[in-house]
Structure 1
Amino acid sequence: MAALSPLLKQATGVLADHGEGAYLFDVDGRRYLDFTAGIGVTSTGHCHPKVVAAAQAQVAKLIHGQYTTVRHQPLLTLTERLGTVLPDNLDALFFVNSGSEAVEAALRLARQAT
């Protein structure tokens, strides 16, 4: 039987059932202020209606479009919007979905530039 790694000790014994805004609810209905919700994927809180609606609409159209293979409108829209607020000398964007990808890209860029 598979188990979670003992190398990462659980900070609490809470068994989360769902989240709403800044709160988590356990399987018994107890509410907890979620101090871990600052991680990027929950920066708007749990289950924000606008975020849920936008995610549902996008997933219904396209779950994943690898931008080195195909382009899609949300990618182009984000690129345009960022272009209006970034300094003029930042003329190219490289999108990643994790810190690991960002570090790997930075290393490759540094190797290429030196």
Structure 2
Amino acid sequence: MSDAIPCDASCPVRRAANLVGHKWTTLIARDLLSGKKRYSELLRSVSGISPRLLTERLRELEAAGLVSRTVFPTIPPSTEYELTELGKGFEQVIQAMAVFGASLPDPD
């Protein structure tokens, strides 16, 4: 690939990879594709993620404009997350990953 275009900061693949390349990000987005989820629902559905890391990833997704957060003034406060219109475009990436993942051999 000696004739490849350099992948600098303006490269769209690099920008996407910087966001979705973090562990758990695609699984969080996958779970939000079905609609709004409370923080506790995400924590249960993305098994293996720590609460601290889930909060960090959700903040990154919110800062990137892919997720919106709604806080309800209850006691204790409850929070819901959902994909924005931009975030819903992530569905195509997740579907492509599912197709590719299904073609891989099962882990032993």
Q: Classify the TM-score, shorter chain.
A: under 0.3
TM-score normalised to the size of structure 2?
0.25
Structure holding more helix per residue: 2
